[in-house]
Structure 1
Amino acid sequence: MRFVPVKTLSVLAALLIGACSSAAANGTNTSPFMATTGRTAQPIGHHEFCIRNTAECATHARSNKRVQLTAELWNMLVEINSSVNSSIRPVTDQDLFGKPEVWVYPTESGDCEDYVLLKRKILADSGWPIGALLITVVRQQSGDGHAVLTVLTDRGDLILDN
């Protein structure tokens, strides 16, 4: 079993504590589980990705399937997140494809949703249940959308970002 260096865990713990403290100070919910409401529309880029990659999108998984987060799975999650983040160069779809929105598996470069697709694929190929790996599009303060991977675990919902 491979363990994350103490420094990495300390940084992650500090970020988690800071996020919880900030939420508590604002009077917001401090639950480690994301609150979701209502239905949303599939992003057009994901729809087009599914047309090009029908096998990847053919799997219908039970949603909210939480992973029992062990030390081994935690280390795998940290390793995959770090590996993808360090191996893919950030480039906008406009610069890469001449279009504002293209969802693809990146090989050398890509933007936020490309990182998410690759992390999700590697985790699923490693045995993580697809229903616990949610592509999540969030709205930034600027109003722009940003894709992250939400990993549902028994210890809380974890966000993998680039």
Structure 2
Amino acid sequence: MASDVGANASVANGVDVAYASVGGDTSIPYGWVEFCQRYRGECEASGKVADVNLTEASMREVHQVNTFVNHAVEAVSDMEHWGVVDRWDLPMDGKGDCEDYALMKRKLLIERGYPRSALLVTVVRDEQNEGHAILTVKTNGGEFVLDNLTDEVKPVSRIAYRFVKRQSQQDPNVWVALGPVSAQKFAAR
């Protein structure tokens, strides 16, 4: 079922799953604003908030999309690709940087029937304290990360990034600050 989120077989009984702590509204990345001027349909609020039902099948599908995009897109900087410091775009020409990977994964999952409100572009700081963009998939069994740096779909509790901000579930054009991740046990169904 398309509204089920599936990633990989590592989702098993007793796995720690987690949710990022959501704070108040914060600044919207300028790259998102420009992206929405070019792709208005990608930026519309869905009108309803829904999480993905976490199943092995849905996790497999999410994993397939993550792996497909990671291998289909060549990593290039915005300066090399577009001649500008920052541009968010769909990598239709097969080239892009981290936010472009996240946007393409979001688009493909929406096309497969996943709720737009559960697919949240997220800004983090990586291990080198560099800005990085990932896609967070919000499920009824925790939040999972799709990252262009790994084919593995991981619970947010298992990544070494510091969460900064992401799209609100209610409206992708409202961004919320993020705090520490809180973990709990989840038994897969």
TM-score (norm. length: structure 1): 0.78
Alignment size in residue pairs: 140
Structure 2 stretches lacking a partner, 5+ long: 2-7, 149-189
Q: Larger % of helix: which? A: 1
Residue aligning to 2:178:
none
**In the aligned structure 2, how far is the partner of 1:80 from the partner of 1:141?**
24
User: Alpha-carbon deviation of 1:139?
Assistant: 2.0
User: Alpha-carbon deviation of 1:33?
Assistant: 1.6
Q: Does residue 102 in structure 1 map to residue 87 in structure 2?
A: yes
Structure with greater contact order relative to length (CA < 8 Å, sep ≥ 6): 2
**In the aligned structure 2, how far is the partner of 1:55 from the partner of 1:44?**
18
TM-score (norm. length: structure 2): 0.67
Q: Larger % of strand: which? A: 2
> Percentage identity across aligned positions?
40
**In the aligned structure 1, how far is the partner of 2:83 from the partner of 2:45?**
30
Task: Give the superposed CA RMSD.
Answer: 2.2
Residue aligning to 1:49:
35
Q: Is the 8 A contact 1:89 1:110 kept in 2?
A: yes
**In the aligned structure 1, how far is the partner of 2:128 from the partner of 2:25?**
23
Residue aligning to 1:73:
58
Residue aligning to 1:27:
none
Equivalences for residues 4-153 of structure 1 within 5 A:
9=9, 32-63=18-49, 65-107=50-92, 108-153=94-139
User: Alpha-carbon deviation of 1:59?
Assistant: 2.9
